Structure 1
């Protein structure tokens, strides 16, 4: 795969980072366009983005450290490595917390902006997962099936071994989720429902795809991977949020 996209002036641009930047940039453009069409204040999005990225970054690192806590205790210097080791779920949960705190501070409707932003999050994840594929991280289990992919020696996946391309499965699922959320956003009955649907569907998709993952660094909780364990609670949270938002809307209309 093409982990290194190109080198210019001694600086190497990695495909993983480049695609994540593309995903975030495209998602941001879509958020602003949808926000304007909905008559929302899009001037707050720049500041909101900083909170989302900041808390998302911390969340992804903290959850990664938790999954390798034994190594962190044995070698605390790992805490200084900010180039490697991130967990998507940590970024999602951290970003949600950052968004909530920002909206509360600015006294704006958190659920409305949550609904506005979350489809673009799914799109950014879809493009970012392509970066995972090029880098070789988040790879699948060893397989003899025709869908298997063999990564070269310079990737993060085991070289010369046919593995399931779970990165592509995740990318396709996230892209489908993006379109589903856009479709549902035009038909929602209450603020927060789009975000709730994302939590529900993403947790289900992530739980299933995790069965095919082969990178053991993800950590585990009993028979489940860390992400599968978290998915259970995210799914419950999504159900509660969906029902709660609709019920609140109904009661406030009476």
Structure 2
């Protein structure tokens, strides 16, 4: 697959960036709907997004670079994100941490705004995985033609890399994230308790990521440990703790 969508004045515009930008734009526009479901101020949500977005990008890149330091000879190589190299866990941590600090300083409910934001965050993640597809990254190990033939032709073509077929793990995660998106919208429409949507997002994404990461060939590693699997386990525990706290408060 060609990672470059088009060229403007000599500057390559990559599919990776297009998918990420589209996901962010959709989230910013349609979070107005989820803000209504949580009875919170949409304009304040926009403020939070524009504060959190740069920290999400910084966090995503910093997280990725820290575990690939040997791949970069200069500072400018380390900050160049046009060709990929963003870790979603770092992005989420950066976004949530900056949003928490901002809402605390503005006396806003972080939990309510997070509940309204997470459907669009997981939707953006679902779109972003297609950027990985066009970059030829975030795939799994080798598979047989018999296995890959069950997928559409364009998936087969994209997963045929250097003479072999590979697991389309980007697709597994994208479809899972899309399912989680609809579950989160359902929970918000049912007026679930504050924090339930946030916990569901963290738990369900972490659960899928743990297993999908085991199939991938490009995992960030710390010795023998796949970092994403470790972070996913922590995410599952955090989700459980949030749900337990919600239940105790309700009782």
Q: Provide TM-score, normalisation by structure 1.
A: 0.87
Encode CA deviations 1:117-165: one digit per residue, 9 max, x unaligned.
001111111111111111212121111143433548xxxx943321111
Contact 2:133–2:158 (CA under 8 A) maintained in structure 1: no
Moved more, 81-90 or 142-151: 142-151
CA distance in 1, matches of 2:147, 2:21: 28
Shift of residue 244, structure 1, vs aligned partner? 1.0
Aligned positions of 1:30-179 closer than 5 A: 30-69=30-69, 75=73, 77=75, 78-83=77-82, 84-148=84-148, 149-151=156-158, 158-179=161-182
CA distance in 1, matches of 2:3, 2:165: 18
The match for 1:207 is: 210
CA distance in 2, matches of 1:6, 1:80: 22
Q: Provide TM-score, normalisation by structure 2.
A: 0.88
Contact 1:35–1:116 (CA under 8 A) maintained in structure 2: yes
Query: Gaps spanning 5+ residues in structure 1: where?
Result: none
Query: Gaps spanning 5+ residues in structure 2: where?
Result: 149-155
Encode CA deviations 1:193-237: one digit per residue, 9 max, x unaligned.
110011111100000111211225x22453x41100111111101
3-state SS, counterpart of residue 91 of structure 1: helix
Corresponding residue pairs, total: 242
User: Alpha carbon RMSD of aligned pairs, Å?
Assistant: 2.1
CA distance in 2, matches of 1:168, 1:202: 14
Shift of residue 13, structure 1, vs aligned partner? 1.8
Shift of residue 60, structure 1, vs aligned partner? 1.0
- Is it true that 1:238 corresponds to 2:239 in the alignment? yes
CA distance in 2, matches of 1:38, 1:185: 7
